[in-house]
A and B are shown apart, each in its own frame.
Chain A
Amino acid sequence: MGPPNVLDMDNAGVRWTTEQVLALAPDDASRKAGARLSAAGPWSDAGSSGEGAVWGLCKGSGKKPYQTVIDTKGPAYRCSCPSRKFPCKHALGLLLLWAGEGTSAVRTVVDVGDGPAPDWAEEWLGGRRKRSGEQEERAKAEAGGAAGQADPEGARRRAERRAARITGGAQELEQRLTDLLRGGLAAAEQSGYGLWEETAARMVDAQAPGLAGRVRELGAIPGSGAGWPVRLLEESALLHLLDQGWLGIDRLPAPLATTVRTRVGLPSPADGPPVKDHWLVLAQYDTSDGKITTRRIWLYGRESGRTALVLGFGAAGRSPQPALPVGLVIEAELTPHAGAGQLRADLGAEVDVPEPTGTPPPGGTTTAAVEAYGSALREDPWLDSWPVTLTGVIPVPDGGDGGGWQLADADGKSALPIAPAALSRPGLWKLVALSGGGPVTVFGECGHRGFTPLAVWSAGSSETVQLT
């Protein structure tokens, strides 16, 4: 005697799983708060539509209940609560409730069944529909002709001014790097972080955020433990290479020139031919530099066989957009960014309701993985890692130098070390637990620091377990 399960039966896709919903939470606290609201009690007038909208009223501490609406197609959220978290705990709780009901035999609390949305929810949902229609119109209009450009001459002049500033910055940075090498890296250890911070600030002034970021990373290397001189020389040399690339950009082939521009910090144009596909969401994780949270979402196109990276950015306190449910397949159009060896793409506005999980992407051995990284470097020498899927690998505790883990081919011959940063993450233990000492399929980023596992499929299972 389950609740009416219109979403399962009709044109709309499946309900999400608990893990997928929890993965949308901006932080741990929201995850917990959401789980608490997922059970019972506070919800009333909850419902969902065949088009992927979910709504409900949540009784809070105040007199008036909070109005929560979610469009799972975005996904997009709206809630009348004052929280700055995005999605807020109410949206998470409601999604959990909705997710739990899909297969739960019991009507736990309220029936998030199918029906027409109440006015307060419809208002927002209708607005969204209208806006997305307008966006499409605008996109069509823009595609129709570049006549949208208001002042092409002014834009060109602005771009030239910025390029000149960056060139100044690159020359200054070259000077700093040669000074560094002339005086010796050993001296860099004493000069400390301040010198690098100052140089980074100069690069920000020069409107070259890409250079600024790399300079800041250089500053952290002397304190990064044994072997730092080697790493500092490597990264200094690559920064030097980027400087030289920018200063001689006219001589570079167009795709590499675009890559250099992107690496320096100019916005990269998303002007590739759009790819419509069924994309498996492989992984989603956030990193933060204190000011900006960067979200990386890895997608794998079922038909095209492409791997794509969707980036999202959020200012402090706000969760970056978009958020996609890991392990599900979405039907969407991606627009790739230009540049050699670039995987970045923009997610089109039209995202269809997620479909059930598919099988993992085709993968290879550890040798194939490092080879893939190696050849990707030909296109973009500044790549730190490359997305790969390893099939039939076993997590192995490293007996050699203590503490490290490897992912070894099932024949026990070759292995990739797991990147040091990934060793302290809880995902590692999930990976080991799922393997149980046997072969698994792992998606992750393979690079010169080792392999960072992001998702795992146990043998014979199509379920994507995220490790982030």
Chain B
Amino acid sequence: MTGTTLPVGASAATTSWEELVTSALLGTDRRTPPADVMASGQDAPVALLDAAALHTLRRRAGLLPARAAALPEPAPEDHRRELPEPARRRLSQLLADRSAPAGTGGRRGTTPDLTELLPQWLTAANDHGYRAPAASLPALLDAARGRNDLRPHALAFAGPRGLWLARFNPDWKFALRGASGGAVLPGVQDSDAVRQLWEQGLFAERVALLAAVRARDANAARALLGTTWPTERAEDRLMFLDSLRAGLSDLDEPFLEEALSDRSRNVRATAAELLSALPNSALAARMAARAATCVSLDRAGGPTGPTVIVEAPHECDADMQRDGVSPTPPSGRGERSWWLGQLVEASPLSIWPERLGGHTPEEIVTLPVLDDWTDELHAAWCRAAVRQRDARWARALLGPPAVSPAAGPGASSLAERAKLLGTLPVAERASWVAEFIAAHGLSEAFQLLGVCAVPWSGPLGRAVVDALDIARDGGSYPWSFSGVMGLAERCLDPAEAPHLEILTATPDEAEGASPGAGGYWSEAFQRLVSTLRLRAAMMSELAGAPGPQAPDERSSPAQAPAPVDTTPAED
């Protein structure tokens, strides 16, 4: 109640307000109002109401301001540039649309899905170094609260004032918990402050600190970690160990080697995995020796020439287990093939040409393998190529894009292919996927497109559009391709829009086509074109340049990078 926060003005009346309230609460029959109130000669209730009206008005008319509570710390200055006016308007539109239901599949109309464009907008705004308009901060924080994938970019854009604001609203606690609470990190050269925060900080602060120190001086970070390592809890050790992934080098080997004897199985497994990504490590050499005994080449071979012979390990001894080999296979898998997969995966790929008759990786993946071990062996090589980021092996294992996935070497699953693609240079990735789509259509392209740089290169974009056009002519409904359509809306180079215009017309119904499909396709292409136009507008508004500009050359992956903060949205 505000009656107490706004103090009562000086009262001239003799009767106190409290007496009136008491009398009213109990009833005038039980508690006669004070004598001076009754002096008017009225009935008790009327006299009481008269007096109360007088008091109420006197109280309200005599209100004084309350004493101010302590003023808040002012928000830190944000020196980034102010958004251009059109971009500011665009942001309020994107944020206003944010809680609209996202159309997945089905009919989505011809209008762009603004929610899906917010991540792009934020990335671009951050690249340009703009400051978030203060009035949009609440909506921005609300959007970030609901969507984990938005958080890193939204919080970076919200900047110091966003963090300042988030302190006051419990709904926005997530903003303070995130690693980007970086505002409070001491300078990494300030070794005393670093040590103090490391020893006394909250877990999130310590993770952020370790990452910051690691980014600047890998050895210092390892040394810092070493000071408290034995006393950390197992799950914390796991997270800290994981932070060594960034800037992993041979210098980390002794520390990791020691962690192979850790009490926690997860810590041991992570240490082994990190060591196996270091081809010069002792662990890699031990794994190589084990793997080499299992895989060999029969030069004479069968009718098709030299053949690879696989002799899977017969046991998983204590040394193997110490090196991270998990002894128990998941149900449904034989334990010997399980062990073999792990050995090959953790061995440096560089051992195989020498081990298998001097063949190149390209030749090795085409060698026949005895006794149906092909899938097992190739899958392990795929994992090794991804882990060791070996583009040559990845290329060999992917095979030519035009070859049917079923006929190609090992990488059968689309997820694995996408991972292998990730190790290739950006341009090569795009042209590989373009050729793949040209040969096989779109039905299996979604995951592969996801690892391509945005905006899509010319050939890749054209391949996708051609494939969509073919799918339309084939008479199917557009929502069978809604995933790729959605990706195309977000990733296609906006400069392609004029070439797509022709596809927005509703074609005559072809023989054998699904009824009405033509209209739906035209709708889908209209949405695609208008989304591209909108993206071009968004980008040029942010560039502050008159007229659409050439698409910029940034190469962010189509799907937002893994969020820094992986805590689930709380709603």
Cα distance, A277 to B253, chains bound together (Å)? 79
Give the contacting residue for A182; candidates B29, B67, B97, B537; CB below 8 A.
B29
With known contacts A41-B110, A233-B52, A408–B100 Cβ distance under 8 A? no
Q: Does B64 lie within 8 Å of A437, measured CB to CB?
A: no
- Look across to chain B and name the residue whose beta carbon is closest to the beta carbon of A434: B134
Q: Does A234 lie within 8 Å of B52, measured CB to CB?
A: yes
Cα distance, A412 to B110, chains bound together (Å)? 54
B400 within 8 Å of A (CB atoms): no
B39 within 8 Å of A (CB atoms): no
Cα distance, A433 to B133, chains bound together (Å)? 9
Q: Does A417 lie within 8 Å of B63, measured CB to CB?
A: no
B190 within 8 Å of A (CB atoms): no
B257 within 8 Å of A (CB atoms): no
Q: Which of A47-55, A70-78, A201-209, A237-245 contacts B (4 or more CB under 8 A)?
A: A237-245
Q: Collect the chain A residues with CB atoms within 8 Å of residue B26's CB.
A: 184, 186
Q: Collect the chain A residues with CB atoms within 8 Å of residue B55's CB.
A: 237
Q: Collect the chain B residues with CB atoms within 8 Å of residue A40's CB.
A: 111-112, 529-531, 533-534
Q: Does A408 lie within 8 Å of B71, measured CB to CB?
A: yes
Q: Collect the chain A residues with CB atoms within 8 Å of residue B177's CB.
A: none
What is the interface of chain B mostly: helix, strand, loop, or mixed? Answer: helix
Give the contacting residue for B3; candidates A41, A230, A409, A416; CB below 8 A.
A230
Q: Does A178 lie within 8 Å of B537, measured CB to CB?
A: no
A148 within 8 Å of B (CB atoms): no
Cα distance, A61 to B90, chains bound together (Å)? 26
A2 within 8 Å of B (CB atoms): yes
Q: Collect the chain B residues with CB atoms within 8 Å of residue A38's CB.
A: 93
- Look across to chain B and name the residue whose beta carbon is closest to the beta carbon of A382: B57
Closest Cβ–Cβ distance, residue B508 to chain A (whole Å): 16
Give the contacting residue for B60; candidates A374, A415, A450, A465; CB below 8 A.
A374
Q: Collect the chain B residues with CB atoms within 8 Å of residue A230's CB.
A: 1, 3, 21
Closest Cβ–Cβ distance, residue B551 to chain A (whole Å): 14
Closest Cβ–Cβ distance, residue A235 to chain B (whole Å): 8
Q: Which of A14-22, A159-167, A282-290 contacts B (4 or more CB under 8 A)?
A: A14-22
- Look across to chain A and name the residue whose beta carbon is closest to the beta carbon of B162: A433
- Look across to chain B and name the residue whose beta carbon is closest to the beta carbon of A100: B89
Q: Collect the chain B residues with CB atoms within 8 Å of residue A227's CB.
A: 1, 3-4
With known contacts A432-B168, A448-B6, A374–B69 Cβ distance under 8 A? no
A373 within 8 Å of B (CB atoms): yes
Count A interface residues, CB 8 Å. Answer: 96
A429 within 8 Å of B (CB atoms): yes
Give the contacting residue for A39; candidates B6, B61, B92, B114; CB below 8 A.
B114
Q: Does A1 lie within 8 Å of B547, measured CB to CB?
A: yes
Q: How many A-B residue pairs have CB under 8 A?
A: 266
Q: Collect the chain A residues with CB atoms within 8 Å of residue B90's CB.
A: 100
Name which of B2, B28, B46 has the most chain A CB atoms within 10 A of its CB. B2
- Look across to chain A and name the residue whose beta carbon is closest to the beta carbon of B66: A415
With known contacts A106-B536, A230-B21, A234-B56, A412–B63 Cβ distance under 8 A? no
Q: Does A181 lie within 8 Å of B64, measured CB to CB?
A: no
Cα distance, A31 to B526, chains bound together (Å)? 22
Q: Does B49 lie within 8 Å of A59, measured CB to CB?
A: no
Q: Does A181 lie within 8 Å of B134, measured CB to CB?
A: no
B546 within 8 Å of A (CB atoms): yes
Q: Does B56 lie within 8 Å of A41, measured CB to CB?
A: no
- Look across to chain B and name the residue whose beta carbon is closest to the beta carbon of A401: B5
Q: Does A105 lie within 8 Å of B545, measured CB to CB?
A: yes
Q: Collect the chain B residues with CB atoms within 8 Å of residue A450's CB.
A: 2, 5-6
Cα distance, A99 to B86, chains bound together (Å)? 10
Which chain A residues in 375-430 approach chain B with CB under 8 Å?
Answer: 375, 377-378, 381, 394-401, 404, 406, 408-409, 412-417, 419-420, 426, 429-430
Q: Does A229 lie within 8 Å of B21, measured CB to CB?
A: yes
Give the contacting residue for A41; candidates B137, B169, B530, B546; CB below 8 A.
B530
With known contacts A59-B110, A109-B530, A437–B75 Cβ distance under 8 A? yes
Count B interface residues, CB 8 Å. Answer: 83
A108 within 8 Å of B (CB atoms): yes
B406 within 8 Å of A (CB atoms): no
Q: Does B49 lie within 8 Å of A177, measured CB to CB?
A: yes
Q: Collect the chain B residues with CB atoms within 8 Å of residue A433's CB.
A: 134-135, 137-138, 161, 165
Q: Does A2 lie within 8 Å of B546, measured CB to CB?
A: yes
Q: Collect the chain B residues with CB atoms within 8 Å of residue A442's CB.
A: none
A236 within 8 Å of B (CB atoms): yes
B483 within 8 Å of A (CB atoms): no
- Look across to chain B and name the residue whose beta carbon is closest to the beta carbon of A231: B1
With known contacts A42-B110, A449-B2, A105–B68 Cβ distance under 8 A? no
Q: Does B67 lie within 8 Å of A32, measured CB to CB?
A: no
Q: Does A104 lie within 8 Å of B537, measured CB to CB?
A: yes
Q: Does A39 lie within 8 Å of B165, measured CB to CB?
A: no
Closest Cβ–Cβ distance, residue A457 to chain B (whole Å): 11
Closest Cβ–Cβ distance, residue B83 to chain A (whole Å): 12
B96 within 8 Å of A (CB atoms): yes
B24 within 8 Å of A (CB atoms): yes
Q: Collect the chain B residues with CB atoms within 8 Å of residue A398's CB.
A: 69
Interface string of B27-59 (1 = CB under 8 A from A): 111100000000000011110111011011101
Chain B residues with a Cβ under 8 A of chain A: 1-6, 20-21, 24-30, 43-46, 48-50, 52-53, 55-57, 59-75, 85-86, 89-90, 92-93, 96-97, 99-100, 109-112, 114, 134-135, 137-138, 161, 164-165, 168-169, 526-527, 529-531, 533-534, 536-537, 540-541, 545-548
Given A22-B96, A41-B527, A106-B547, 7 other A-B residues pairs in contact with their CB atoms under 8 A: A22-B92, A105-B546, A374-B62, A396-B69, A416-B6, A433-B165, A448-B63
